[in-house]
Amino acid sequence: MTLTNNERRVLDALAEGDGDTDAEALARTTGLGRGPVEGAVELLAEKGYVNVDETAETLYKLTDEGRGYADDGLPERRLHDYLVENDDVTTDELRDVEGFEIGIGHLRRKGWAEMGATVEPNEASRGDDEEALEALASGENVDGVPETLVDRGLVEREEERTVNVRITDEGRESAEGDDRGTVGALTHDLLASGDWKDADLAEYNVEADAETTHGGREHILRQMANRVKEVMTDMGFQEMEGPHVDAEFYINDHLFMPQDHPARTHWDKFLVEEPQRIDELPDEAVENIRNVHREGAEGGDGYHSEWDRDVARTLNLRGHTTSLSMRYLAEGVEPPARYFSVDKVYRNDTLDPTHLLEFFQIEGWVMARDLSVRDLMGTFVEFYSHFGIEDIEFKPHYNPYTEPSFEIFGEHPETGEQIEIGNSGMFRREVVEPHGIDEDVEVMAWGLALERLLMLIYGFEDIRDVHGTLCDLELLREVPVLWN
Amino acid sequence: MAVVEADPDELRRLVGRDLSRDELVDELFALGVEFEGEGDDGLEFEVVPDRPDRLSVEGLARSLRYQFGDDRGVRVPEIGRSDYKIRVESVPERPYIVGAVVRDIDLTGGVLDSLIQLQEKLHATLGRRRNKGAIGVHDLTMLKGEEFVYRGIDPDDESFVPLEIGDAGAREMTPREVMEDHPVGKEYARILEGAERVPGIYDDIGMFSFPPVINGKRTEVREDSRDLLVEMTGTDEWTVDKMLNILVYALSDRGATVEEVEVEYDDRRALKPDLSTESKTVTHDRIESMLGVEFGTDDVVDLLERSGMDAETETRDGATAYDVTVPPYRTDVMHPLDVVDDIGRAYGFNEMEPRYPDVSTVGGLTESTRLENAVRKQLVGLGFQDLLSFVLTNDDDCYTRMRRDAPDDGVRIPNPYSEEYDVVRSWLLPSIVSVLANNTHRGYPQNLAEVGFCAVQDDDENTGIREETHVAAAVSGTDAGYEGAKSRLTSLVDDFDATVGTPTTEHPSFIDGRAATVVIDGDDAGVIGELHPEILAEREILQPVAAFEFEIDALRS
């Protein structure tokens, strides 16, 4: 009969010894752990090579606290002693005796004292608990330790399980007998010595389950980000990068967001404690932005509110990556151009299963002469089709920085519902004119949350499972990879 | 976003069409007004902030009548003459007031509620929570005299009886008492914070209104009020003009007649409401190129009229253009392209065929992304599970629990969503330790890595903050130790054709004698070591952890 390596080692150890021992001793002699030994013993027992006999013994052990009381007496005993030694003791006076807080309850429960204006001691004979405590302290094992000691945490009870193993005749036969030659693992020694030629390689149960190997893998949200980046670059988009902490100048003012816009209030954005403001802003750009806020773009009107350079210098954790688009436009981009980013944004808003304080925004824009809203629509239809989202609809919408603007709706790949999957529009002249962009050049842009796309594709219900430190490793290890 | 509640029967009556509930919802959706759900007194709709003229059942009905073509072009209500006048006397902090007299309004059957709703919604949106503009509506018959005075007053010197809210009010109070004791006063006192003088409006009897806080009880409007004085005060004249216009249009749609009020400043006089229209010029080419649709000129004029505008065709330099008249209740038409948006909406954006733009560009990733991806790929090859943790954390997780003091150059959030997220992380290992701590019930070994964002203050940067990408990795499990971490670190750095050294160092997060500086190509780039057992025990991670972290830029060579 074929034995595993562990079984073979245990059986050999038994045969070499007197054939009657326990699992603990076997673990020592074989060098295997107690667990593997017991596993092997169980298998050997099934084959009839060993007899197994389990016994359990209850052991009691003093805790540190219990040991202290064994030396100094239980707190209630100490209180009682004090009462016997002193007359007319009040509760307040007794309070000063060490162990009062613990002892007073037990004192009353055991009926060792009467509580009145003064505390008067009763007769208090030595109890079973005190006997047991003393015996345990002197190293004796005590039968029937009172439960109260365990409950009070003075004594710990341990079950010691002994697995006695005795080799059978069949076992001894096997250890000495014919199938000595079967070999479990093919080893370096067998190969180097040439002994493998004579070895009888044991049959394995090839249908048995094997433990799952968890190799390294990319985070599922990162896979999604990279999939999106792949689609974007395939569509001719060049990636952007830039600061997470940026001046409101780029986050809001460039987007023609009036400085008194409700979304620019203190509580919607993450401020920075130190430094609070960007060093400097380019003067010319500041003038261009100020003018467009106050006077509007050519042929239009501005806002009816003040524009303050210091507000524009205020640093925020960016609420959107459109700040990157603005920085690129400010640097000067010639049409035609396509740019994108998939990067973190921060919203001081809500934290719940579908909203995070920080998430990845997919941002993209196309700049070319004579672009129309139909080109914008065509771009999105193409983009979303790569993620299985069809039947795109465009709901007219309002953004301070785009006109026309659309919320993009698409059919949920699983449920078939129409759901919002992005926000888009043509940048207003007030946004592009400060960068000297010609009037016949349009810039269309859109944005959406990467997490939202991931949740749609995988049906995740709580985004915190996959983004952040609350992630479940099992989910990260087992979620199917994204390739399609 | 503002949510407006509309009684569907009222909406049908004002539109003049017997529409089903679904038809109402669909037609409004086509206008960009989304159905939110059933409210207590009707259907709730979300109105986007560019169209405050739709913040009432009257405004929604007006838009629908244009949508159906039942109304066309600009309609301006006729304004009658009146002898009413408001004199302005030194109100520097809230300098503007406008007003109108409204007659023969029937406020029964929910009209008063609708008026109150519009007033509240305008306060919340255009009025910027009454800061920029605030509305007062009064029963005209309760006012004595035809000349009112708007003046700045000492908040302790004057008194009036404010509107009753629950148990508050209905007694003589000074403006200061209102701001301190009256629930409405307490809510809006912030607008007047620090002001020595507060605004008051007077008739021949005395003060009857305390804008922008509360009206007096004397002139309270009831369902049986027939004639009204509407006044608006604010910090910006354009804003209060527009708010008044929107209110006047709504009342006029309800059959009221409107009369002017003269406002007399020290240096000028103005007749209000100012219902003058504005005009914008847009070329035919611009409309076609923006929408990608070919139109006849008649089509454009028709679409504009169905948007509530008027258009005259003209020829400029041989090209067709439109002189477009914009009605006085529109606040969103700032640029000729806003007119094009209205044409698109009237035409129907979903009628347009998407097309892929015939524009050729070359795509690509940034160098940073290429480097990060390469590092991640090597880490995964070395058996690490890639992680993606939050950038926002707190001192406790990021430093204290790592046995470190919070550094002075950290980036902190003064107004966090919660104390849990008030620090921008300056290193990644705490994130990895948190993941380990949250997953002690999962199988070991747990080899985890992150390539992620960190930031610290730095005067040399334009923003004053240096943003870095770090690489961090940890091995955890029975056999995990310094050697395992170092062998992986060495392998990773080798992959980038760089050399790594690990001179001994001391670091509070690591065991003494098992910590080293990560030196890449001669520069200090990070740290490696076995995590201190105190950190592990406190997080109940019962397996040893060895880890390293360094700045990714050290690999660029």
In tens, the pLDDT along B447-465 reads 999 999 999 999 999 999 9
DSSP E strand stretches across B416-534: 423-424, 446-457, 465-476, 500-501, 510-520, 523-531
The predicted structure's pLDDT at residue A456: 83
**Interface residue of B125, B191, B365 to substitute, partner A, most A CBs within 10 Å:** B365
Residue A208 inside a domain? The answer is: no
Q: Does B386 touch chain A (CB under 8 A)?
A: yes
Q: Across residues B156-172, what is the average pLDDT?
A: 83
Residue where the block lists tokens 């594709």: A457
Restricting to A residues 288-327, those with a Cβ less than 8 Å away from any Cβ of B are: 296-297, 299-302, 304-305, 315, 317
Length of chain B: 557
For the ranges A91-105, B3-17, B203-217, the lowest mean pLDDT is seen at A91-105
C-alpha pair distances (Å), A242 with each of A328, A330, A334:
9, 13, 19
| Binary contact (B334, A234; C-beta < 8 A) | no
A47-78: pLDDT as tens digits: 888 998 888 888 888 888 888 888 888 888 88
Domains, chain B, in order of start with CATH, read: 2-67 (3.30.56.10), 79-272 (3.50.40.10), 278-350 (3.30.56.10), 367-555 (3.30.930.10)
Q: Across residues A193-210, what is the average pLDDT?
A: 82
> How far away is chain A from the Cα of B285, in angstroms, using its nearest Cα?
10
Question: Strand pairing partners for B138?
Answer: B229
Q: How high is the mean pLDDT of chain B?
A: 94
Residue where the block lists tokens 């002892």: A103
Q: Which stretch of DSSP H or E encloses residue A271?
A: strand A270-271
Chain B residues with beta carbon closer than 8 angstroms to that of A430: 334-335
Of A469, A368, A105, which Cα lies nearest the Cα of B539? A469
Rg of chain A over Cα atoms, rounded to whole angstroms, equals 39
**Do B248 and B149 touch, CB atoms closer than 8 A?**
no
pLDDT over 80 at B230, yes or no = yes
Question: Strand pairing partners for A448?
Answer: A362
Q: Which of A153, A183, A211 is the last residue of a domain?
A: A153
More confident residue, B405 or B32: B405
Of A358, A317, A361, A309, which Cα lies nearest the Cα of B463? A317
Distance, CA of A76 to CA of A430 (rounded, Å): 84
Per-residue confidence band for A177, with pLDDT thresholds at 50, 70 and 90 = low
Quick check: helix, strand or coil at residue A253?
helix
Per-residue confidence band for A185, with pLDDT thresholds at 50, 70 and 90 = confident
The predicted structure's pLDDT at residue A93: 84
| Binary contact (A216, B381; C-beta < 8 A) | yes
Calculate helix-pair angle for A5-16, A34-46, nearest 10 degrees. 90
pLDDT over 60 at B327, yes or no = yes
Residue A15 inside a domain? The answer is: yes
Per-residue confidence band for A180, with pLDDT thresholds at 50, 70 and 90 = low
Q: How high is the mean pLDDT of chain A?
A: 88
B390-424: pLDDT as tens digits: 999 999 999 999 999 999 999 999 988 889 999 99
**% of chain A exceeding 90 in pLDDT:** 37
Q: Across residues B287-303, what is the average pLDDT?
A: 96
Residue where the block lists tokens 């945490």: A153
The predicted structure's pLDDT at residue A233: 98
Nearest to A428 among B335, B385, B412 (CB): B335
**Interface residue of B240, B337, B427 to substitute, partner A, most A CBs within 10 Å:** B337
A121 and A81 in a single domain? The answer is yes
Q: Across residues B35-45, what is the average pLDDT?
A: 89
B342-372: pLDDT as tens digits: 999 999 988 999 999 999 999 999 999 999 9
A164 and A149 in a single domain? The answer is no
Q: Does B345 touch chain A (CB under 8 A)?
A: yes
| Binary contact (B455, A244; C-beta < 8 A) | yes
Nearest to B463 among A243, A379, A393 (CB): A243
Residue A340 inside a domain? The answer is: yes
Which amino acid does the sequence have at B431?
S
Q: Does B319 touch chain A (CB under 8 A)?
A: no
**Do B408 and B516 touch, CB atoms closer than 8 A?**
no
For the ranges A128-132, A293-297, A425-429, the lowest mean pLDDT is seen at A128-132
**Do B245 and B274 touch, CB atoms closer than 8 A?**
yes
> How far away is chain A from the Cα of B184, in angstroms, using its nearest Cα?
21
Of A425, A476, A441, A482, which Cα lies nearest the Cα of A458? A482
Length of chain A: 484
Q: Does B96 touch chain A (CB under 8 A)?
A: no
Cβ-Cβ contacts under 8 Å between A and B: the total is: 278
Q: Across residues B48-60, what is the average pLDDT?
A: 92
The predicted structure's pLDDT at residue A405: 94
Question: Which CATH number characterizes residue A188's domain?
Answer: 1.10.10.10
Of A201, A205, A208, which Cα lies nearest the Cα of A181? A201
Of B88, B440, B423, B408, which Cα lies nearest the Cα of B233? B88
Six token digits for residue A237: 């988009």
Nearest to B415 among A260, A271, A277 (CB): A271
A144 and A238 in a single domain? The answer is no
Chain B residues with beta carbon closer than 8 angstroms to that of A271: 413-415
pLDDT over 90 at B201, yes or no = yes
Calculate helix-pair angle for B111-124, B237-253, nearest 10 degrees. 160
Distance, CA of B452 to CA of A5 (rounded, Å): 45
Distance, CA of A146 to CA of A136 (rounded, Å): 12
Distance, CA of B247 to CA of B260 (rounded, Å): 14
Query: B2: which residues sit within 8 A by CB, 6+ positions away?
Result: B46, B47, B49, B52, B55, B121, B124, B125
Question: Strand pairing partners for B96?
Answer: B234
pLDDT over 80 at A143, yes or no = no
| Binary contact (A245, B338; C-beta < 8 A) | no
| Binary contact (B385, A217; C-beta < 8 A) | yes
Chain B residues with beta carbon closer than 8 angstroms to that of A473: 385, 435, 439, 442, 446, 448
C-alpha pair distances (Å), B249 with each of A57, A152, A270, B70:
92, 80, 40, 17
Query: A136: which residues sit within 8 A by CB, 6+ positions away?
Result: A60, A61, A62, A66, A70, A142, A145, A155
| Binary contact (B414, A243; C-beta < 8 A) | no
Six token digits for residue B386: 């890639």
Residue A209 inside a domain? The answer is: no
Q: Across residues B532-555, what is the average pLDDT?
A: 96
**Do B448 and A482 touch, CB atoms closer than 8 A?**
no
C-alpha pair distances (Å), B330 with each of B119, B245, B372:
17, 9, 50
The predicted structure's pLDDT at residue A1: 61
Q: Which of A153, A176, A191 is the last residue of a domain?
A: A153
More confident residue, A4 or A197: A197
Chain A residues with beta carbon closer than 8 angstroms to that of B357: 366, 368, 371, 375, 378-379
Q: Which residue of B has its CA nearest to A315?
A: B463
Which amino acid does the sequence have at A7?
E
| Binary contact (B31, A396; C-beta < 8 A) | yes
CA torsion through residues A223, A225, A229, A231, sign: positive
**Do B472 and B552 touch, CB atoms closer than 8 A?**
no
pLDDT over 90 at A85, yes or no = no
ipTM of the complex: 0.90
Residue A216 inside a domain? The answer is: no
B502-527: pLDDT as tens digits: 999 999 999 999 999 999 999 999 99
A285 and A417 in a single domain? The answer is yes
**% of chain B exceeding 90 in pLDDT:** 89
A312-357: pLDDT as tens digits: 999 999 999 999 999 999 999 999 999 999 999 999 888 888 888 9
| Phi, psi (deg, nearest 5) at residue B411 | -100, 120
Annotated binding site of B for Mg(2+), which residues?
332, 338, 341-342
Distance, CA of B449 to CA of A218 (rounded, Å): 10
> How far away is chain B from the Cα of A16, in angstroms, using its nearest Cα?
31
Residue A93 inside a domain? The answer is: yes
Quick check: helix, strand or coil at residue B445?
coil
The predicted structure's pLDDT at residue A179: 53
| Phi, psi (deg, nearest 5) at residue B507 | -150, 130
CA torsion through residues B268, B269, B272, B275, sign: negative
| Binary contact (A218, B465; C-beta < 8 A) | no
Chain B residues with beta carbon closer than 8 angstroms to that of A373: 290-292, 344, 349, 352
**Do A386 and A366 touch, CB atoms closer than 8 A?**
no
User: Alpha helices, DSSP H only, in B410-481?
Assistant: 429-438
Residue A292 inside a domain? The answer is: yes
* Exposure of A76 in the CB half-sphere (CA atoms within 13 A): 21
Nearest to B32 among A296, A397, A466 (CB): A397
For the ranges A111-115, B19-23, B219-223, B421-425, the lowest mean pLDDT is seen at A111-115
Q: Which stretch of DSSP H or E encloses residue A58?
A: strand A50-62
Cβ neighbourhood burial of B91 (10 Å; 0-12, 13-18, 19+):
buried
User: Which long-range CB contacts under 8 A does B524-527 form with residues at least 24 apart?
Assistant: B525/B550, B525/B551, B525/B554, B526/B470, B526/B471, B526/B550, B526/B551, B526/B554
Quick check: helix, strand or coil at residue A55?
strand
Question: Which CATH number characterizes residue A266's domain?
Answer: 3.30.930.10
Q: Does B25 touch chain A (CB under 8 A)?
A: no
Q: Does A420 touch chain B (CB under 8 A)?
A: no
What is the number of structural domains in chain A? 3
| Binary contact (B453, A344; C-beta < 8 A) | yes
Which amino acid does the sequence have at A126?
R
Distance, CA of B282 to CA of B280 (rounded, Å): 7
Annotated binding site of B, which residues?
332, 338, 341-342
Q: Does B440 touch chain A (CB under 8 A)?
A: no
Distance, CA of A386 to CA of A421 (rounded, Å): 14
A14 and A124 in a single domain? The answer is no
A238 is in an annotated binding site: no
Q: What's the domain range around A82?
A: 64-153
Strands A182-183 and A200-201 turn out to be parallel
Q: Which stretch of DSSP H or E encloses residue A232?
A: helix A220-234
The predicted structure's pLDDT at residue B87: 96
A438 and A378 in a single domain? The answer is yes
| Binary contact (B387, A442; C-beta < 8 A) | no
Q: Which stretch of DSSP H or E encloses residue B147?
A: strand B147-153
Q: Does A34 touch chain B (CB under 8 A)?
A: no
B182-197: pLDDT as tens digits: 999 999 999 998 888 9
Q: Which residue of A has its CA nearest to B417?
A: A348
A185 and A280 in a single domain? The answer is no
Distance, CA of A235 to CA of B557 (rounded, Å): 31
A115 and A176 in a single domain? The answer is no
CA torsion through residues A454, A460, A461, A466, sign: negative
| Binary contact (B51, A272; C-beta < 8 A) | no
The predicted structure's pLDDT at residue A182: 67
B88-112: pLDDT as tens digits: 998 988 999 999 999 999 999 889 9
Query: B340: which residues sit within 8 A by CB, 6+ positions away?
Result: A403, A404, B282, B286, B287, B290, B291
Distance, CA of B389 to CA of A465 (rounded, Å): 11
Which amino acid does the sequence have at A246?
D
Residue A468 inside a domain? The answer is: yes
A289 and A177 in a single domain? The answer is no
Q: Does A346 touch chain B (CB under 8 A)?
A: yes
A370-420: pLDDT as tens digits: 999 999 999 999 999 999 888 888 888 899 999 999 999 888 777 777 888
A73 and A186 in a single domain? The answer is no
Calculate helix-pair angle for A75-85, A100-109, nearest 10 degrees. 80
Chain B residues with beta carbon closer than 8 angstroms to that of A238: 361-364
For the ranges A44-48, A89-93, A141-145, B475-479, the lowest mean pLDDT is seen at A141-145
> How far away is chain B from the Cα of A375, in angstroms, using its nearest Cα?
5
A275 and A380 in a single domain? The answer is yes
A20 and A71 in a single domain? The answer is no
Query: B209: which residues sit within 8 A by CB, 6+ positions away?
Result: B136, B138, B200, B201, B215, B216, B219, B231
